């Protein structure tokens, strides 16, 4: 497992490799087969809700390793984990050493009881387990040199920022326009700035920090668009009959390989189009959405009466990216999305990532950097793309 994590780049330092050796994962995943507990890319689901959806997991080693590298926990530090499970708190405790302090907090009494039992059995009695809504942090043990959030956060509560010690670091999987990235954040003046970011996925936060977004049904709910931060505009889009219009197909002449991540492309679309959302559809809608031999991705953009989504068609050299669209303004929307696919290919493919910053909720617009601003309940998030020059990519189809 550790060798695989190093090859993936999830583990880069000897200290993080050693903490994986020192804390046996299977102690914290009772009932899971060993090959599942130690699968580098797999999370282990520990609790489900009434609909069978996971609400408590032990994160994958790949994600744990990446976030521990982001946190850079040193001996003697005070650290807070938001979202308990046991194994991550044990690893944090090993990294802080006997002179350090680790607090782990969760809103679910079943989760905290299990974490307490497993930590004690594994010899990590000094980890403090707190049952509380982490929206308020854990003020009685503040301040913290490191705060690691291990549930999907839609917002950044002021308490998390206030409880950071000077020079502290917050590592949080933050959901922005339906896309979640683990941000390594440090204080700069009155706000936080990102030093690194990586694509990830987590179960959603419960309690005061929960946010379910908005669902827009299409064709009697057999397809739907999901919007993370409310409707794209002042009024709810009207797309119920859109799939009954003629589909518009547009192709970008940009090729991708089978294992290439489209994370930055999705982020580029999300920061360019105010109507960015995620498309979900029943299997019987696939013939309407794509032709045989094509695939569609859940990245979508909506106007009040039209919507479009990212697709790919396979060929001998890989897959060509394109856009399918429905509605009265399908052609214009498809062409605009294709243009952004080409911008991603020419300027941002393979990096650089945009810069993320977390600002107080009352920050005036003229104090924010250029780029997209997402207003949450308790903060403002700015996402700014660095300037780049056009660069040819070998996967492009000759024009």
Q: Are 11 and 23 in contact (CB under 8 A)?
A: no
Burial of 351 (0-12, 13-18, 19+ CB in 10 A): exposed
Distance CA 5, CA 9 (A): 6
Edge-to-edge, what's the strand order for the sheet holding 179-188? 128-131, 101-106, 78-82, 144-149, 164-176, 179-188, 191-199, 355-360, 379-384, 372-375
- Kindly name the residue from 56, 59, 84, 319 that is annotated as catalytic: 59
Structure tokens at 73: 């926990």
Paired sense of beta strands 223-227 and 214-218, if any: antiparallel
Annotation marks residue 246 as catalytic: no
Q: How many CA atoms within 13 Å lie on the side-chain side of 280? A: 11
Q: Are 51 and 43 in contact (CB under 8 A)?
A: no
3-state SS, residue 119: helix
Residue 88, φ and ψ in degrees, nearest 5? -65, -40
Strands (E), the chain: 44-48, 54-58, 78-82, 101-106, 128-131, 144-149, 164-176, 179-188, 191-199, 214-218, 223-227, 248-256, 276-281, 294-302, 307-315, 318-326, 355-360, 372-375, 379-384
Q: Using omega within 30 degrees of 0 as the cis cutoff, is the peptide bond preceding 276 cis?
A: no
Structure tokens at 298: 């859940």
In 3D space, the residue among 291, 347, 352, 351 whose CA is nearest the CA of residue 322 turns out to be 291
Relative orientation angle of helices 14-22 and 87-96, to the nearest 10 degrees: 120
In 3D space, the residue among 171, 227, 154, 140 whose CA is nearest the CA of residue 59 turns out to be 171
Distance CA 271, CA 348 (A): 13
Q: Is the dihedral of CA 231, 236, 242, 243 positive or negative?
A: positive
Burial of 278 (0-12, 13-18, 19+ CB in 10 A): buried
Q: Which residues are catalytic?
A: 59
């Amino acid at each position: 497992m550790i060798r695989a994590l190093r090859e993936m780049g999830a583990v880069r330092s000897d200290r993080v490799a050693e903490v994986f050796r020192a804390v046996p994962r299977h102690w914290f995943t009772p009932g899971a087969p060993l090959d599942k507990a130690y699968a580098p890319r797999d999370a282990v689901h520990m609790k489900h809700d009434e609909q069978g959806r996971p609400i408590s997991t032990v994160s994958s080693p790949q994600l744990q390793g990446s976030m521990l590298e982001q946190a850079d926990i040193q001996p003697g530090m005070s650290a807070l984990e938001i979202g308990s499970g046991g194994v991550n708190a044990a690893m944090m405790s090993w990294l802080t050493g006997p002179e350090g302090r680790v607090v782990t907090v969760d809103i679910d009494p079943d989760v905290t009881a299990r974490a307490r039992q497993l930590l004690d059995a594994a010899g990590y009695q000094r980890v403090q387990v707190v049952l509380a809504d982490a929206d308020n942090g854990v003020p009685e043990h503040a301040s913290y040199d490191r705060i690691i959030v291990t549930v999907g956060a839609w917002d950044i509560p002021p308490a998390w920022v206030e409880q950071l010690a000077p020079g502290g670091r917050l590592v949080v999987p933050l959901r922005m326009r339906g896309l979640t990235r683990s941000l390594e954040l440090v204080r700069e003046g009155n706000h936080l700035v990102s030093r690194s970011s990586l694509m990830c996925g987590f179960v959603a936060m419960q309690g005061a920090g929960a946010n379910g977004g908005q669902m827009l049904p299409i064709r009697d709910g057999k397809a739907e668009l999901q919007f993370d931060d409310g409707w794209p505009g002042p009024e709810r889009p009207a797309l119920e009959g859109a799939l009954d219009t003629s589909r518009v197909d547009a192709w970008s002449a940009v090729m991708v390989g089978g294992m290439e991540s489209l994370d930055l492309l999705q982020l580029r679309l999300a920061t360019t189009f105010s109507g960015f959302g995620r498309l979900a559809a029943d299997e019987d809608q696939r013939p309407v959405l794509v032709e045989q031999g094509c695939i569609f991705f859940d990245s979508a953009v909506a106007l009040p009466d039209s919507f479009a989504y990212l697709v790919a068609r396979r060929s001998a050299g890989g897959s060509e990216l394109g856009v399918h669209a429905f509605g009265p303004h399908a052609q214009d929307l498809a062409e605009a999305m294709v243009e952004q696919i080409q911008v991603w290919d020419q300027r941002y493919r393979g990096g650089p990532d945009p810069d993320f910053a977390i600002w107080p909720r009352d920050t005036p617009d003229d104090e924010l950097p250029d780029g997209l601003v997402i207003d949450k309940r308790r903060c403002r998030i700015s996402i700014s793309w660095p300037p780049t020059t056009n660069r040819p990519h070998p996967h492009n189809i000759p024009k």
